[in-house]
Structure 1
């Protein structure tokens, strides 16, 4: 395993075991959810639209939980349109395996492209966030 791959693996496991954005906040403005019946992943995303702070309640695999965590970091302070662009960049990255500098730590999930069935795990939090943000357009 390359040094970069090892660093990415460490980041994924850290964010899965030590989530920073997990839990339903006392106050939120928007909510979305997602399910992946293929592997049992479930997520609820909560958005406080004063600064686009995102929290989540997740149950599922390490890839999905790490994706939710890294997504929450990546979208903080962005507008809904900027979040949509970030989602497109993320989906392109997990499908191609090509890291994108704009994605920062989300690039840790670039290896998902080698496991096609896991792409849905990585993109599920983004789908839930998009559902939540539909009410802002």
Structure 2
């Protein structure tokens, strides 16, 4: 787990300066929204030879949803699809409060506090659900 001040800094930085934004040419994006709070995200994944060669997003919403999307693109770009699914499962378990954050999650640990905020779990998982649909699975909870 990261110190709270460090976690807040990471979240704020990714909200203010999101990484890997904008559509990817040649791939279809998946758009999801959270009608409860108005968050929306579109995720594009370019998978080549079983590896995520490009991963981008666009969206609008709260700091949690937007920083989670940005952190996701950084963490998963270059990973194989099975590695991405495994990391997504670890992240989901942490956010849902089912498992402590694994150090392998790196900066994604900044969102570990979301597990205590039931209403914010959907915000943190929105981009991840879109990614799962983009990759052809939908195992992330709604």
Fold conserved (TM > 0.5)?
Answer: yes
Find the aligned partners of 1:73 and 1:113 in 2 and give their Cα distance: 21
Find the aligned partners of 1:88 and 1:58 in 2 and give their Cα distance: 22
For residues 38-77 of structure 1, what are the alpha-carbon distances to aligned partners after superposition, in whole Å with 9 as ceiling and x for unaligned? 1101110011224512110111110000000100011111
Question: What's 2:14 paired with?
Answer: 15
Find the aligned partners of 1:91 and 1:101 in 2 and give their Cα distance: 14
Question: What's 2:124 paired with?
Answer: 122
Classify the secondary structure of the residue corresponding to 1:39: coil
For the Cα contact (< 8 Å) 1:33–1:131, is it kept in 2?
no
Alignment root-mean-square deviation, CA? 1.7
Find the aligned partners of 1:23 and 1:15 in 2 and give their Cα distance: 15
Question: What's 2:73 paired with?
Answer: 72
CA shift at 1:28, angstroms?
4.0
Find the aligned partners of 1:60 and 1:46 in 2 and give their Cα distance: 18
Find the aligned partners of 2:19 and 2:133 in 1 and give their Cα distance: 22
For residues 65-120 of structure 1, what are the alpha-carbon distances to aligned partners after superposition, in whole Å with 9 as ceiling and x for unaligned? 00001000111111222211111100111122722111110000000011101000
Structure 1: gaps (5+ residues)? none
Runs of 4+ in 1 over 3 A off after TM superposition: none
TM-score (norm 2): 0.86
**Between Structure 1 and Structure 2, how many residues are aligned?**
132
Find the aligned partners of 1:86 and 1:78 in 2 and give their Cα distance: 10
TM-score (norm 1): 0.89
Classify the secondary structure of the residue corresponding to 2:136: helix
Structure 2: gaps (5+ residues)? 138-142
Classify the secondary structure of the residue corresponding to 1:43: strand
More helix by share: 1
Question: What's 1:99 paired with?
Answer: 101
Find the aligned partners of 2:37 and 2:129 in 1 and give their Cα distance: 16
